[in-house]
Amino acid sequence: MEEEGRIGIPRALMFYRYFPIWHTFFEELGWRVVVSDGPKKGKIIYFEDSCLPMKLLVTHAVHLKGKVDHLFVPRLVSLHRTHIMCPKFRGAPDIVRLATEDSVSIIDETIDLQIRGNSLAQSFSKIGEKLGVPKKESKRAFSKAQQVFPMFQSRWVDRINRLPSRQLFQMDIPTPLSGKETLLRIALIGHPYNLFDIDINKDILALIKSLNLEILTSDSLSEEEIDRQVSGLSKEIYWSSGREIVGSLFHFLSGGVDGVIFLTSFKCGIDALLQEFIKRRLRVRGGTSIPFLVLSFDEHTGREGLITRLEAFRDVMEQQKKRKYLG
């Protein structure tokens, strides 16, 4: 098929969840998807004084300009009927536009499923419209993307455990069938970009795998399970990501794993508030027998300190497991 043009997708923020959908959609329409490599030599562009994930979005976008016909930075307001995304996402396309100084066309379609009558399919056909694609074509491409996504997700845990972090979202690399046996299971909790962006977490996945631990992540739980876990709170948490973090934490801390790590970005408003909530609630409820660690990342986080903490955490997990086994 002849190439229509190039779409640039910054490897940042919700790329780390929805890339399979975006990739399939644009490729089906005959557009070539170009993903940014990331900051060269760790050089981050400081356009605004926000959290690290947001700064990385700007950095990736600036690297892509000039190499692509359009940048894809959707305005993700809400991807659920009643829950919303981080408020910073609402201004993300505008920040990117200012940072790239209008030198590249940006597809910034607003996706807001809170509004009655809006649907994801509709939003995508609007994105197609901007590329001059007939509605029918967009519809076909989107339904293809919708088929691919659950297939991709069903193999997600295997991918995390058996592929190097860089290859997780390379769609042409198949999921390996088997891996080595591990003794301990660890749950990683956080926004998808904190879990999988190696520029944020210094490739914590590789470090954990080298300690011979099996990884589970917060994004593998079903929405029903999350809803069940956060149902009885005195006030509903309205951020999708916040619900996922609190819900999966309660889920994993009630059993099934040997340790839980909560990965946060420094200056993330949602994480800061919920971290306090989680900590206090656990204390009020009499604590947990499962080891729990909070790791906060920013651009100064070093790999060595991380290794030490992870090794110590594994020792705690091992002891705890032995104690349970004996007692």
Partner 1 sequence: MKVTFPHLGTMHIFCKAIAETAGIPYIVPPETSRRTLSLGVIHSNECICLPFKIILGNFIEALQMGADTIVMVGSGPPCRLGLYDLVQKVILDDLGMHYRWLTIPPRLTWRAILKNHEETKELRKELSARNILLFPYGLWMGWKKMMACEALERLAMKVRPKEIQKGETQKRLKKALLWVDEAKTPRTLEEAVQRGRIFLQETEQDRSRIPFRIAIIGELYTVMDSYINRGVEQRLGELGVEVTRTSWFSTHILRSLRRGKGNQNAERLRFFEASKRYLAYDVGAECNFSIGEAILRSQEGYDGVVHLMPFACMPETTASGILTKVGKDWDIPILTLILDEQEIEGRIQTLLEAFVEMLQWKKKVA
Binding site for partner 1 (CB under 8 A): 47-50, 75, 77, 84, 86-88, 90-91, 93-95, 98, 108, 110, 233-235, 237-239, 266-277, 280-281, 283-284
Nearer to partner 1, 255 or 286 (CB): 286
- Residue 205 Cβ vs partner 1, minimum distance, rounded to whole Å: 24
Using a 10 angstrom Cβ sphere, with 0-12 exposed, 13-18 middle and 19 or more buried, the burial of residue 142 is buried
- Residue 236 Cβ vs partner 1, minimum distance, rounded to whole Å: 9
CB atoms within 10 A of CB 240: 19
- Residue 84 Cβ vs partner 1, minimum distance, rounded to whole Å: 5
Let me know: does 292 contact 245? Beta carbons within 8 Å.
Answer: no
Nearer to partner 1, 24 or 265 (CB): 265
Euclidean distance between the first and the last CA atom of the chain, given in angstroms as a whole number? 64
Listed in sequence order, the residues at least 6 apart from 61 whose beta carbon sits closer than 8 Å to its beta carbon are 8, 10, 12, 36, 71, 73, 96, 99, 100
Nearer to partner 1, 232 or 327 (CB): 232
Let me know: does 185 contact 256? Beta carbons within 8 Å.
Answer: yes
- Residue 48 Cβ vs partner 1, minimum distance, rounded to whole Å: 3
CA distances from 16 to 190, 193, 266, 273 (A): 12, 6, 19, 23
Nearer to partner 1, 279 or 324 (CB): 279
Nearer to partner 1, 218 or 240 (CB): 240
Nearer to partner 1, 129 or 276 (CB): 276
Nearer to partner 1, 98 or 171 (CB): 98
- Residue 120 Cβ vs partner 1, minimum distance, rounded to whole Å: 18
Q: Write the single-letter amino acid at 67.
A: K
- Residue 255 Cβ vs partner 1, minimum distance, rounded to whole Å: 22
- Residue 315 Cβ vs partner 1, minimum distance, rounded to whole Å: 26
- Give the tokens for residue 78: 């809400």
CA distances from 112 to 32, 121, 236 (A): 26, 12, 19
CB atoms within 10 A of CB 8: 26
